[in-house]
Amino acid sequence: MRILIVSPILPYPIKSGGQLRIYKLIQELSRQNEISLLSFASPGCQQAVEVLRGFCSRVEVVPVQKARGLASRAGILFDPRETNRHFGRARLLAGGAPIGAANLYHPEMASRLEEMLDSNHYDVVEINFCQMAHYLPERSGSRPATVLVDIDLAIATARRAARTARGVSRLLALAELRRLRHWAARMMPKFDAVVTMSDVDSERLIAVNPDIRTLVVPNGVDTSYFRFRNKDGRRMSMIYLGGTGHPPNTDALNYFAATIFPHIRNKCPLATLTVIGEADAGKLPLLRGDPAVELAGFVQDVRPRLSSAALMIVPLRIGGGTRLKILEAMSAGVPVLSTPVGCEGIETDSSEHIAVASDEQQFADLATQLLTDEEGRFLMATRARSFVEGRYSWRQIANDYQRSLSDLVRRGADG
């Protein structure tokens, strides 16, 4: 098949779970299919584009950049292309689109997509992220199968953000949630399939509009890359994967710092926390400057950091989809302690694979128990590794997805 993948973010270098998912599926699908990629990208991305061309027959980018100084802002304001972009955003907002969708509108992305569709016969067009749904190609006659991938289940993320926000922020979050629900109900049924990460996510979308046709394609893990470690990490060390550029991570870390970490330190005074990911220390006031906390920033290879940790924590209260970081930790032999939101979508109900805490006191108690029980950690890690090997291999996930796409193309050809 010839597959065109449209993304709001270049999937390489990998700095987020969404990028990792897109990259791994491109890599696996390219073994038996011809892949083209159209993506927004920052200036200076040529090296990343060359890496992606190792899997893609064609890579096209729409450059975007933020204006930094007053002169730059003035230049953008009077640039006709940017004027068209602002008018397009205004039209979307006036029509009830969520702010995230309006922010991702770019006339050059729309025209580049049309050009690629006119010059190539694609069997499938896959658009990533709900907020990119307005790029759905509306073409007469023979058309490719269309797929929307709702990687982080935007509706669930917005709903949880509204629940945790306060004051004016809560009102704004509720308004965006209403826009997202309307957007999903109106736009998603236009696609031949909407891909979710789990059955739970599919049920939530169908509740919004029963006409949405969902397809579950879970996240995965490269078990040959994240190899099981033979020994446990440092006894009192915890690790969190995720930067503050993603609001659910900021909320999770501040929640952990304020309500959970103090209880852990009362019983385990030597407990430490390492945060991997680009982090703005100003957004983490309780962790900034704490000698027991390392804000390590972005690292190209997280495996050495994982191998030195005794426990991965996932105190998420906001978000949707499936956490790739949990699958990576399971594969690498690092026990995981999560909230129910954090591990949602991972198809296990066994405490033998992952520890789940419903409130801050239970989270602190389980963290203390795991940090002080080396044998218990090893047993959980061993069982978790076997679990992900059997269910979450990227190769198997990509093969199943390819069969589903082939079925969509076949049904379209049959009328």
Read off the tokens for 236. 């009192």
- Residue 68 has a pLDDT of 43
* 298 vs 304: CA distance, rounded Å: 13
* 260 vs 361: CA distance, rounded Å: 7
- Residue 310 has a pLDDT of 94
DSSP label at 131? G
Q: What is the 3-class SS of 378-399, one letter each residue?
A: HHHHHHHHHHHHHHCEHHHHHH
- Residue 69 has a pLDDT of 43
- Residue 110 has a pLDDT of 95
Read off the tokens for 19. 């990028």
Classify domain 237-391 at the CATH topology level: Rossmann fold (3.40.50)
The closest of 322, 328, 393 to 27, measured between CA atoms, is 393
Region 2-220+394-413: CATH code: 3.40.50.2000
Residues of the chain with pLDDT under 70: 65-81, 139-141, 230-234, 320-322, 349, 413-415
pTM given for the model: 0.80
Hunting for tokens 């230049």 — which residue is that?
75
- Residue 322 has a pLDDT of 60
- CA distances to 5, 29, 123, 325 from 34, rounded to whole Å, are 11, 8, 10, 29
Sheet of strand 34-41, all strands in order from the earlier edge strand to the far edge? 58-63, 34-41, 2-7, 124-128, 145-149, 193-196, 214-216
The closest of 278, 208, 269 to 249, measured between CA atoms, is 278
The closest of 149, 123, 162, 129 to 3, measured between CA atoms, is 123
Question: Can you give the residue ranges of every domain in the chain?
Answer: 2-220+394-413, 237-391
- Residue 327 has a pLDDT of 93
